[in-house]
Structure 1
Amino acid sequence: MQLAGISHRPESEDTAVLADHQLQVRIQTARDDIAQVELLFADSYLWQEGTTDLQRMALAPGLATQSNQYWQATLTVPTNRVVYAFLLTDTAGRTIGYGEGGFFADDPTNWQTVANYFHMPYLHVSDAELPPAWVKDTVWYQIFPERFANGDAHNDPADVQPWGAGTVKRDSFYGGDLAGITEHLDDLAALGVNGLYLCPIFASPSNHKYDTIDHFEIDPHFGTKADFQALVEGAHDRGMRVMLDAVFNHFGEQSPQWQDVIKHGQQSRFADWFHIHGWPVGRDPQTHQLNYETFATGAAMPKVNTQNPAVQAYLIDVTKYWVEQFGIDAWRFDVADEVDHGFWRQLCGALRAVKPDIYLLGESWHSSQALVGNGQFNAVMNYPLTQPILALFNGKLSLSDYVGKTNLELMMYRQPNQQAMFNALDTHDTPRLLTTLHDDLTKFKSALALLMLLPGSPCVYYGTEVAMVGGADPDNRRCMNWHPDDQAQQVREFVTALIKFRRQQADFLAASTLTWSIEDQCLTLTRTDAEQTITGRFNLGTTAVAATTTPASLMAAGVVGGQLTAGGFELTLA
């Protein structure tokens, strides 16, 4: 028995309070080592008093990573108090107990010793911080406002270019605005999305608006607060939620707070709002290094001191304002992993007090258990789950390694949070999907289908539905194509059908079990519950294979003459 492969931590991603009296427990073991895992559990007080017996239940084998097997069970805990320990049996029939004190021999005396058990002193549903139920039913659509649509030429910047003209540069302006988004809400409703994620819309000198000047004002080139109210109301009328993007790691250099620091130096009332290590602020004349902290290495984005109570109060007021005054449904927080956890707990608590079902999302490019739950976010942007899809379809990752890496990420968070993870294959920070997949439309469709089958809340980047291309920033921020050719229109019809499928099956996909199988060059993902089975089969090889004949296909790409071509997929329901 490989003891080093066995791990469980209470009150972590290994335990999830799903509802009152309901606890989900999982444990990891080494792959191909353990044949059976059982859980022995009871109310600690009643068991020690002798008024109740230990209960026993088997854990089901779940997902396997490259090195570990996960086991899982959901307990009903009548008193909301529970102690529990694991009985593990390996493939040779040897047994061992495992609890808070580590491993112990499988004998009656040890099983009667409470110190051998993990403790969950009381199951509080409020502590579970379950994500809003609506998130798992949502398909998001990300909009970079400056490039989506120009609905009001009167607010265009002075140096605006004709829509879509020329090569996109970092300082290009094309006149996209809030009125343009509102004008196209019916197009988005027809596409089927029911969540709008807007990149920052607040006052800023740039086209991307991640260098905020005033968090309480709409950028004048995007419109007015009345324009934003019309957009929110129009979205809500069509059943769409609205998520705004906040940048609280740093301010823009033109913000009044930073300008006051530049003007008044140490005497500025905002001197402690930033991380400043020398005066006057700027570059050291000897080393030429900045004497203040920034986002990345950008001098124009000074980093904010979120441990300052005045900063905390200001930023919390910002987020509450847009919820209370305009009724937005969610916030996405930029560079969330570089901001202190204490501030996030304060902010998230304040927002939940205002709107209990608000969705709070942090930007992170890596596995971020420390940001999810514990008074903080419902979810993070799930790049570690989605980026391997691109490597898989580009032949950079074997099928078995893809499955192992994906399962690892699926086990990083509690199941309710995993259902709320923000899953996207391209965003304003990455090359566009079709470009990443070397203009292969079949693989493009297959990758989107795989995304829609995975746990989480999927997102479509504006223009993906009409097969827009683009390399790294700023090329990935081209103007929306409002006049697609026949091929692009066919892609839109495919994406519309895929979103419709995802939304129709949202409850099933959130609750069903997930299994993988590999047969030669084909990867199969199966989602199953007591009522139905949905199967996605993906040809990751270089030659065609026989397509499935029964059950009938729901959707497919690359099926020709009874063959599933390289890069293609088929989706079936049984």
Structure 2
Amino acid sequence: MQLAGILHRPESEDTAVLADHQVLLRIQTALTDIVKVEIKYADMYLWQTGAPMQTAVLEKGLATQANQYWTLTLNVPTNRLIYGFRLTDQAGQTIGYGDDGFFDDCAPAWATTSHYFHLPYLHVSDAELPPAWVKETVWYQIFPERFANGDTTNDPAQVQAWGRGPVKTDSFYGGDLRGIIDHLDDLADLGINGLYLCPIFTSPSNHKYDTLDHFEIDPHFGTKKDFQELVDAAHERGMHVMLDAVFNHFGTASPQWQDVVKNGAQSRFADWFHIHGYPVGQDPETGQLNYETFGTAATMPKLNTQNPAVRDYLIQITSYWIQQLNIDAWRFDVADEVDHGTWRVICGALRAVKPDIYLLGESWHDSPSLVGNGQFDALMNYPLTQPILSLFNHELTPKAYIGKTNLQLMQYRQPNQQVMFNALDTHDTARMLTVLHDDPVKMQAALTLLMMLPGAPCLYYGTEVGLAGGPDPDNRRCMPWQPAPKQTAMYPVVQRLIAWRKANAAFLATSQLSWQLTGELLQLQRQDATQTVVGQFNLGTTSQALAPATTTVLSHGLADDQLAAGGFSLQVR
């Protein structure tokens, strides 16, 4: 028995309170080593007064490249739980595993309280269950400067003709809030029910991540009246609205930073930033900045978020847009570079204002320490989604893809995994179509796989028309409105996938997920007691036979239960 492969941690992603009296438990073992995992459990107080220990068998769940996971949902009538695992390997050897490690599988050992893991009381409030509405949401990310120009009177002086390229880092095309309002019906027709807007606050740049004033709409985008109209119109169409906050840093044009520039160490904002010398700027001898920044961007001085005055100011900003403009969610830029204490204070304050607010953090890597524990509901799930593109580019074998994806699915508690923000491309990455070498079939297959995975899918504006683009700034091209999106070949495929995803949101949030690999035919199956849905992706060079299906939702290259090389299908069996 490979003891080093066995791991369970109580009060971590291995335990998830799903509802009152209900907890999901998970344990990891070495791949192919263990054949059976049982759990012995009880209410400790009742057990100590003579009530029998109960036993259940865990289900064999997902497997990574090195480990097998086993899961079980327990109903706990008293909300008090002690438990230990009994593991059996391929040779028939058994062992107990609990809070103090491994122990012999014998009656005296199972009678020892210290061997058991403890969940003293299951509080639903501790579960910090994410807002239920997010599980039913298909997001649409808009880079406001490039989506649509609805009001030419607020265009920047240096505005370029819409869509004229090449796009540069300092290009302005005049996109604004009025343009978004004008196209809400188009987005509703596509099936979108969540809008994620990149920053809309006052800023000198086109991207607005170097904010000057978080309390004002950038005048080139419109006014607060325009934004209120946008929020109200979105809500009328069943759409939630998420804004983007940049709290790791401010722009150098912000009044706080300008006060530091003017008054140096005497500025009342001097301790709002990480400053190592005055006057702030570049050391003439070393060429190094004497203040900390986002990355190496001199125009984005990093905030000292451990300063209580800074935290209070950030709470004022985020609360204002919820209370006054009725937004539904916040996405926080560079969340992994801000201290956890700040996020707990901000997130707690915002949930007090609006209990079903969705709070999303940006991180490009596994960051379970940012999820739960008073912090975010979810993260931008790049580690889960980026391997999809590598899979269809044949940079990952199907077997390796399955292992990596399952690993990501085990990083967070199940309720949080259901609302993770899953995007195949964003304003920070090259466009999906370009990454996939301008192959629309691969793009459709990638979107199909995305829609089947746990989490809330997000489309980057222009996906529905097959908009291409390389790395920033080329990935921020203007949305093409001619020909009309509905007239493009990609639009009906994306529309059908969104409709299917929304119609099956409850099923996808609770159904079992499993994989099957036959040669180069990758199959993802979602199944519950009522239906089985299978996504099939032929990554090989020859056609593959498929099992008969009752309904085909979407396919390419499928005929007479034969899936052509490079083809895919989404079917109900």
Correspondences of 1:494-505 after superposition (within 5 Å): 494-505=493-504
**Deviation (angstroms), 1:49:** 2.4
d(CA) in 2 for partners of 1:515 and 1:80? 30
Question: How many Å separate the matches in 2 of 1:382 and 1:208?
Answer: 22
Q: Distance in 2 between matches of 1:70 and 1:150?
A: 50
1:469-513: per-residue Cα shift (whole Å, max 9, x none)?
000000000000111379961210110001000000110011000
Deviation at 1:232, TM superposition (A): 0.1
CA apart distance, 1:552: 3.6
Aligned to 2:132, the other structure's residue is in SS state coil
| 1:25-44 per-position Cα deviation (integer Å, ceiling 9, x unaligned) | 00000011101101111111
Aligned counterparts of 2:497 and 2:547: Cα–Cα separation in 1: 19
Q: What amino acid does structure 1 have at the position aligned with 2:433?
A: L
Task: Write the distance in 2 (CA, Å) between the matches of 1:46 and 1:547.
Answer: 53
CA distance in 2, matches of 1:95, 1:266: 67
Superposed displacement of residue 91, structure 1: 1.0
SS in 2 for 1:326: coil
1:67-108 CA distances to partner (integer Å, 9 max, x unpaired)? 000000011111111111100011111100000100000011
Give 3-state SS (helix, strand or coil) of 1:360's partner.
strand
Deviation at 1:257, TM superposition (A): 0.3
2:71 maps to what in 1? 72
Give 3-state SS (helix, strand or coil) of 1:558's partner. Answer: strand
Give the equivalent residue in structure 2 for 1:532.
531
Change (3 A) 1:196 1:485: closer
Partner residue, 2:311: 312
Residues 130-529 of structure 1 aligned to structure 2 (within 5 Å): 130-484=129-483, 489-529=488-528
Matching residue's letter, 1:82: L
Q: Which residue of 1 aligns with 2:22?
A: 22
Sequence identity percentage: 69
Amino acid at match of 1:447: A
Aligned residues: 573
For the 8 Å contact 1:558–1:568, the answer to whether it is kept is yes
Q: 1:33, 1:91 within 8 Å by CA — same for their partners in 2?
A: yes
Q: Does 1:46 align with 2:50?
A: no
Give distance in 2, aligned partners of 1:259 and 1:527. 55
Query: 2:361, 2:376 within 8 Å by CA — same for their partners in 1?
Result: yes
Q: Distance in 2 between matches of 1:431 and 1:359?
A: 26
Q: Which residue of 1 aligns with 2:35?
A: 35
| Aligned-partner Cα distance in 2 for 1:505–1:212 | 39
* CA positional deviation for 1:241: 0.2
Answer yes or no: is the 8 Å Cα contact 2:137–2:457 preserved in 1.
yes
The question of whether the paired residues in 2 share the 8 Å contact of 1:442 and 1:558 is answered with no
More moved, 554-563 vs 38-47: 554-563
TM-score (norm 1): 0.98
Query: Secondary structure at the residue paired with 2:85?
Result: strand
CA–CA distance in 1 between the matches of 2:541 and 2:158? 48
Structure-2 change in CA distance of 1:445 and 1:277 (3 Å): same
Residue in 1 that maps onto 2:13? 13
- Take 1:556 and 1:235, find their aligned partners in 2: how far apart are those partners? 32
Q: Distance in 1 between matches of 2:38 and 2:466?
A: 49
**Aligned-residue RMSD, C-alpha:** 1.2
Q: Please state if 1:110 is matched with 2:77.
A: no
Q: Which runs of 5+ in 1 are unaligned?
A: none
Counterpart of 2:179, as a letter, is: G
Q: Amino acid of the residue matched to residue 215 of structure 1?
A: H
Please give the alpha-carbon distance, in whole angstroms, between the structure 2 residues aligned to 1:561 and 1:87: 48
SS at 2:489's partner residue? Answer: helix
- SS of residue matched to 2:535: strand
* Alpha-carbon distance in structure 1 between the residues aligned to 2:482 and 2:104: 71
Q: Tell me by how many angstroms 1:55 deviates.
A: 1.0
Cα offset, 1:410, TM superposition: 0.2
Structure 1 residues 101-156: Cα deviation after superposition (integer angstroms, max 9, x where no partner): 00000011110111000111111101100000000100000000000000111100
Q: Is the 8 A contact 1:547 1:559 kept in 2?
A: no
Q: Deviations over 1:280-329 (max 9, x none)?
A: 11112221111111000000000000000000000011000000001100
1:159-180 CA-partner distances (Å, limit 9, x unpaired): 1011101210000000000010
- Work out whether residues 540 and 566 of structure 1, in 8 Å CA contact, stay in contact via their aligned partners in 2: yes
What is the letter of the counterpart of residue 43 of structure 1?
Answer: D
* Kept in 1: contact 2:469–2:476 (CA 8 A): yes
Q: Give the structure 2 partner of residue 63 of structure 1.
A: 62
Q: Structure 2 CA distance, aligned partners of 1:485 and 1:23?
A: 49
Partner of 1:86: 85
The amino acid that maps onto 2:14 is D
Judge conservation of contact 1:466–1:484 (CA < 8 Å) in 2: no
CA contact (8 A) 2:485 2:491 kept: no
Tell me which moved more, 537-546 or 464-473: 537-546
Q: In 1, Cα distance between the equivalents of 2:163 and 2:513?
A: 42
Structure 2 length-normalised TM:
0.99
Q: Deviations over 1:40-76 (max 9, x none)?
A: 11111221122x2111111000000000000000111
Structure 1 residue 227 displacement after superposition:
0.2
Once residues 399 and 487 of structure 1 are traced to their aligned partners in structure 2, the CA distance between those partners, rounded to angstroms, is 33
- The question of whether the paired residues in 2 share the 8 Å contact of 1:446 and 1:567 is answered with no
3-state SS of 2:261 partner = helix
1:213-240 Cα distance to aligned partner (Å, 9 max, x none):
0000000000000000000000000000
Q: Distance in 2 between matches of 1:124 and 1:423?
A: 29
| Separation (CA, whole Å) in 2 of partners of 1:429 and 1:39 | 45
Change (3 A) 1:245 1:81: same
Which stretch of the first structure deviates more once superposed, 559-568 or 111-120?
Answer: 559-568
Report the Cα distance in structure 2 between the residues aligned to 1:375 and 1:500, rounded to whole angstroms.
Answer: 33
Q: Are the aligned partners of 2:465 and 2:485 in contact in 1 as well (CA < 8 Å)?
A: no
Unmatched 5+ stretches in structure 2: none
Is the CA contact (8 Å cut-off) linking 1:26 and 1:71 kept in structure 2? yes
CA distance in 1, matches of 2:78, 2:550: 46
In 1, are the aligned partners of 2:549 and 2:572 still within 8 Å (CA)? no
